Amino acid sequence: MTQTNRSQWDIGRLFQTLTYFEVIPFISCLQRLFTGRDEKQQSSQKKETIMGTILVAGATGGVGKRVVSRLRENNYPVRALVRDATRAKKILGENVELFEADIIIKETLTPQLMEGVSAIVCCTGTRVQPVEGDTPTREKYYQGIKFYMPEVVDTPELVEYQGIKNLVQLAAKHLTPPGEQIIFDFTNPSADLKEIWGAVDDVVMGGVSESSIRLAENKAIFSGNVSTENNGGFASVRTRNFNPPIDLSNYEGIELRVRGDGKRYKFIARCEDRWDGIGYCFSFDTADNEWSNIRIPFSSLIPVFRAKTVSDASKFDASKVYAVQLMHSKFEYDKQLNPKFEPGFFNLEVVYIKAYGGKPTPQFLMVSSAGVTRPGRPGINLEEEPPAVRMNDQLGGILTWKLKGEDTVRESGLTHTIVRPCALTEKPGDKVLSFDQGDNIKGQVSRDAIASLCVEALKLPSACNKTFEVREEEQIASSTNWDNLFANLQTDR
């Protein structure tokens, strides 16, 4: 084909592609400057789209507000379940997503509360008189011993049992099955899809193919027109680099829910942040206008650079997934042709992209209390017990109802962790933690330490389906091996 017969190459579209994916960083920087979008905002948008949100119930309490802070420090998207959004903003700040509801009023716990949620940290407790974040107390005396009793407003039965039951029932309906992690859920998409996905077509090598990704009817639609003119022949959509990369090392592979047009497509994942680096590919066929689940084991991904296999490349590193891509191409690998390729229009609908085959991590983490089994237990000397145990009846059976709330979590079928802290303090959380089971230990533990424990437990399979008590020892902790602490505990039966 002579130069005069070639289709016109759209160099402007090439420039737009390279700018969108920040291959030309100086121009991208200028764009952000003039559009008022900074890098921090972009990064936040990406994280909200690709990571499951952690719902924190009781988010303005002494432990809850610290959990919110730790989660945000660790780049988790957070949704705070609060009763009073105005008050919550004063405690949590303006940049935390708030959902106003009340766990004791089931009608307020709508499905919207669970949109995009992957796990719940429940730090709720019987409501006390409003004080900025921590539990207010009144000085009391019991048999001549001074102690501090919380000012109870709600009844423990409503909060510690019925409220927890309401939240657990909602969670059981909406949380993703254990061992899976949603990466993109297009049935519940973020409005920022255009900030994540962009077209990478053969315009980058002089071609004229075009594609796009858009949302419609609870799915993403990857569509376009592939042309072989100018030696082209592929169209694709790709994510910007995730920041930070997604760690999928706990999983076996990727699953797509798709409806195609009878053509063959490629899924590509990248474990380095280079624009033009190695992509790990998997080709899959679709049936015309039929839905199917495509499972892609990480072990089946083929390392490819510019459509050529790389025999000496390392295995795919699922611990740092920087980007994913969908492609329709006339080529398979190493100049082999796609047997189902035809130039022209194509259309691939996608419901979700998720990781499968993982070891389950906790879906529902409940902060309860040490001492919940002691009221009424034979052989217990109340004189030697903490005030909450001694005064359980006067406090409306608060520990009794907490135990019933725990039971609803254990019986829910959700993977769970139930933390029973000893007496909570405002001290720095820098001491060695001691775990035990059987509800016999006493002592103190920092709210800061409990918040850190909750965040660590969310990502550890060894924390699943465990109930335990925790207190601090005297020694300062140099580091904590969380996995070992959880692994040494007995699983709930």
Residue with tokens 């795919």: 316
Q: What distances in angstroms separate CA 428 from CA 328, 448, 450, one per listed residue?
A: 55, 6, 11
Once rounded to an integer, what is the mean pLDDT over residues 347-376? 95
Q: What is the rounded average pLDDT of the residues 419-444?
A: 94
- The predicted structure's pLDDT at residue 52: 76
pLDDT at position 3, please? 45
DSSP annotation of 414: S
Please compute the mean of the pLDDT values over residues 111-138 and round it to a whole number: 72
Q: Which residue has the higher pLDDT, 363 or 188?
A: 363
Please give the Cα distance from 155 to 396 (Å, whole number).
7
Share of the chain above pLDDT 70, in %: 84
Q: Per-residue pLDDT averaged across 377-387, rounded?
A: 86
Predicted pLDDT at 41: 42
Structure confidence at residue 46 (pLDDT): 40
Q: What is the pLDDT of residue 160?
A: 94
| pLDDT of res. 91 | 96
What homologous superfamily is domain 47-178+360-487 in, according to CATH? NAD(P)-binding Rossmann-like Domain (3.40.50.720)
pTM above 0.75, yes or no: no
Q: What angle is formed at CA 430 by the lines to CA 429 and CA 434, rounded to 5 degrees? A: 85
pLDDT band at 62 (very low <50, low <70, confident <90, very high): very high
Looking at the chain, the domain(s) classified CATH 3.40.50.720 span 47-178+360-487
Question: Pairing between strand 364-367 and 220-226?
Answer: unpaired
What band does 148 get if pLDDT is binned at 50, 70 and 90?
very low
- Confidence category of residue 354, pLDDT binned at 50, 70, 90: very high
Q: Which long-range contacts (CB under 8 A, 24 or more apart) does 10-14 make?
A: 10/203, 10/208, 13/201, 13/203, 13/210, 14/203, 14/204
Residue 144 reports pLDDT greater than 90: no
Q: Is the pLDDT of residue 302 over 50?
A: yes
CA distance readout (Å), 345 to 207, 227, 342: 15, 9, 9
What pLDDT, on the 0 to 100 scale, is given for residue 12? 66
Render 418-483 in DSSP notation, one character per residue: EEEESEEESS-S-EEEEEESSS----EEEHHHHHHHHHHHTT-GGGTTEEEEEEEEEEEPS---HH
- What's the whole-number mean pLDDT along residues 132-158? 54
User: How much is the pLDDT for 37?
Assistant: 47
Burial 361-384 (b: 16+ CB within 10 A, else e): bbbbbbbbbbbbbbbeeeeeeeee
Averaged confidence pLDDT in the chain: 86
The answer to which of 10-24, 114-128, 166-180, 382-396 has the lowest mean pLDDT is 10-24
User: Is residue 337 scored above 80 in pLDDT?
Assistant: yes
Q: Determine the pLDDT at residue 17.
A: 75
Under the banding of pLDDT at 50, 70 and 90, the label for residue 326 is: very high
What is the pLDDT, as a whole number, of residue 477? 85
The 3-state DSSP class for residue 98 equals: strand
How confident is residue 194, by pLDDT bands cut at 50, 70 and 90? low
Model confidence at 154, in pLDDT bands (50, 70, 90)? confident
Give CA–CA dist 186/50, Å, rounded. Answer: 11
Q: What is the location of CATH 2.60.120.430 in the chain? A: 3-36+184-356
CATH 2.60.120.430 fits 3-36+184-356, yes or no: yes
Q: Is the pLDDT of residue 190 over 70?
A: no
Higher pLDDT, 493 or 202: 202
**pLDDT category of residue 115 using cuts at 50, 70 and 90:** confident
| CA dist 472 → 5, 168, 385, 464, 475 (Å) | 78, 29, 18, 22, 8
Q: What is the pLDDT of residue 238?
A: 95
| DSSP sequence for 137-188 | EEEEEETTEEEEEE-B-S-HIIIIIIIHHHHHHHHHHHSPPTT-EEEEETTS
pLDDT of residue 128: 42
Per residue in 11-55, pLDDT (tens digit) is: 667 667 777 777 765 444 444 444 444 444 444 344 434 567 899
Confidence of residue 141 (pLDDT cuts 50, 70, 90): very low
**Residues paired with 296 in a beta bridge:** 254
pLDDT for res 6:
57
**For residue 7, what pLDDT band results from cuts at 50, 70 and 90?**
low
Mean pLDDT along residues 460-486 = 93
pLDDT band, residue 151 (cuts 50/70/90): very low
pLDDT for the residue numbered 218? 86
Give residue 255's pLDDT.
97
- The model's confidence at residue 65, banded by pLDDT at 50, 70 and 90, is very high
Distances in Å between the alpha carbon of 34 and those of 15, 16, 31, 37, 475? 17, 16, 5, 8, 53
